[in-house]
């Protein structure tokens, strides 16, 4: 199959491919998603095949607003409606209990819940409206690899496996949406993202964060809870403290191959770099680092291969919770030790 690159002016052609049961990657403000008609079970199953994704890993359903959610979910609470009003369109995914038989088990992983999101990207909202159906949309990458923030990342992983990619340039946020489970008594964050716990609390009061480890035979309620994620080819090691970077450079200087360094400009400016170091700037601060994280990991996979990667850690709060969630999974929890 030839994977076509659709321009934003070619939404009707991309929508036709969706209606025909084909797969089209689409842009969101977070990362690129792999789109298929959420009401077409055959098309949904092709998403798993194209990504190499385990079939018990549920998919997020992308919609243009609350009306579509109400067609599938059980009646929404006042709290849910507050969240939708405050954060949609945007980087918040909400899990609701479903009306029986409304969505295929291929979408839900066999659960009685499903995750819904209204993405903040006009091109994709136009695509969903033109297709006339909600779209499943896991990240448009090979399962386990860093999420794609550019169309070329999608093309690298899925060329020949999907019908097309709707290219709207680089994504704005760079880490996936926050996933909030609304099917429990107390709203529970299953995956931190661009919408922070503090922002959620300001709208609806108390929420909790889940640190539950999903068992081998357990079906996760949300993406990213069970399987390996975000890993480049090289081993990532997290450097947590600014004071540790000098020792990290000494360690790198004794490695046989090239070592990648991902850090903010202020860190990079202070380092004495060994000859075997290749750097990638994470920008000025946590905001830019979150935006650049996946692009940096992809850079060291696709454009400047290395044998190891040293990546800057940040405090695990606010947006840092989302950044460190992704970075820890990318590194397999490996942190630099003197």
pLDDT for 108-130, tens place per residue?
989 999 999 999 999 999 999 99
Please say if the pLDDT value at position 214 is more than 80: no
Q: Among 209, 244, 267, give the residue marking a domain's end.
A: 209
Q: How confident is the model at residue 218 (pLDDT cuts 50, 70, 90)?
A: low
* Cβ atoms within 10 Å, residue 318: 15
Q: pLDDT tens digit string along 136-160?
A: 999 999 988 999 999 999 999 999 9
Considering the domain architecture, whether residues 179 and 60 belong to the same structural domain is answered as yes
Q: How confident is the model at residue 54 (pLDDT cuts 50, 70, 90)?
A: confident
Binding residues: 30, 53, 57, 62, 113, 117, 139, 147, 177, 191, 230
Percent of the chain with pLDDT over 90: 90
Residue 12, domain member (yes or no): yes
Q: How confident is the model at residue 227 (pLDDT cuts 50, 70, 90)?
A: low
Q: Say if residues 314 and 262 touch (Cβ distance below 8 Å).
A: no
* Cβ atoms within 10 Å, residue 252: 21
pLDDT at 222: 63
Q: pLDDT tens digit string along 242-259?
A: 999 999 999 999 999 999
- Rounded CA-CA distance 40/37 in Å is 5
Residue 228, domain member (yes or no): no
Domain of 247, CATH number, reads 3.40.50.11030
CA atoms within a 13 Å half-sphere pointing along the CA-CB vector of 231: 14
Considering the domain architecture, whether residues 203 and 279 belong to the same structural domain is answered as no
- Rounded CA-CA distance 329/161 in Å is 26
Please say if the pLDDT value at position 237 is more than 70: yes
Binding residues for L-threonine: 30, 62, 117, 177
Residue 223, domain member (yes or no): no
Q: In this structure, what token pair is assigned to residue 336?
A: 């630099």
Considering the domain architecture, whether residues 15 and 109 belong to the same structural domain is answered as yes
Q: Say if residues 193 and 91 touch (Cβ distance below 8 Å).
A: yes
Q: How confident is the model at residue 232 (pLDDT cuts 50, 70, 90)?
A: very high
Q: pLDDT tens digit string along 300-317?
A: 999 999 999 999 999 999
Provide the whole-model pTM. 0.92
* Cβ atoms within 10 Å, residue 228: 12
Q: In this structure, what token pair is assigned to residue 191?
A: 């995956």
Domain with 279 in it? 235-331
Q: How confident is the model at residue 171 (pLDDT cuts 50, 70, 90)?
A: very high
- Rounded CA-CA distance 164/158 in Å is 9
pLDDT at 229: 74
- Rounded CA-CA distance 128/208 in Å is 32
Residue 39 DSSP one-character state: T
Residue 29, domain member (yes or no): yes
Binding residues for ATP: 53, 57, 113, 139, 147, 191, 230
Q: How confident is the model at residue 95 (pLDDT cuts 50, 70, 90)?
A: very high
- Rounded CA-CA distance 338/329 in Å is 21
- Rounded CA-CA distance 179/195 in Å is 9
- Rounded CA-CA distance 50/92 in Å is 25
């Amino acid at each position: 199959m030839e994977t076509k690159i659709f321009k934003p002016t070619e939404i009707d052609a991309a929508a036709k491919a969706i209606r025909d049961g084909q797969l089209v990657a689409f842009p969101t403000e977070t990362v690129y998603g792999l789109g298929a008609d959420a009401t077409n079970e055959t098309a949904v199953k092709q998403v798993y095949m194209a990504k190499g994704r385990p079939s018990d890993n549920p998919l997020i359903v992308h919609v243009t607003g609350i009306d579509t959610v109400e067609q599938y979910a059980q009646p929404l609470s006042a709290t849910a409606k507050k969240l939708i009003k405050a954060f949609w369109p945007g980087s918040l995914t909400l899990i609701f209990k479903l009306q029986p038989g409304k969505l295929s088990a291929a979408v839900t992983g066999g659960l009685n819940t499903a995750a819904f999101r209204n993405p903040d990207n006009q091109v994709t909202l136009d695509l969903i409206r033109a297709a006339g159906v909600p779209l499943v949309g896991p990240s448009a990458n090979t399962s386990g690899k860093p999420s794609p923030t550019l169309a070329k990342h999608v093309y690298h992983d899925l060329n020949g496996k999907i019908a097309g990619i709707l290219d709207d340039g680089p994504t704005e946020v760079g880490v996936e949406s926050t996933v909030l489970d609304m099917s429990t008594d107390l709203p529970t964050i299953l995956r931190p993202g661009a919408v922070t716990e503090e922002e959620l609390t300001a709208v609806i009061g108390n929420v909790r964060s889940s640190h539950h480890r999903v068992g081998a035979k357990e079906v996760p309620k949300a993406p990213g809870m069970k399987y390996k994620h975000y890993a480049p080819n090289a081993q990532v090691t997290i450097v947590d403290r600014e004071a540790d970077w000098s020792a990290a450079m000494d360690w790198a200087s004794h490695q046989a191959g090239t070592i990648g360094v991902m850090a903010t400009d202020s860190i990079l400016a202070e380092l004495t770099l060994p000859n075997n170091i290749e750097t990638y700037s994470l920008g000025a601060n946590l905001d830019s680092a979150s935006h650049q994280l996946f692009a940096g990991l992809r850079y060291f996979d696709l454009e400047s291969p290395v044998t190891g990667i040293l990546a800057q850690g940040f405090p695990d709060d606010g947006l840092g919770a989302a950044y460190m969630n992704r970075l820890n999974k990318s590194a397999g929890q490996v942190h630099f030790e003197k």
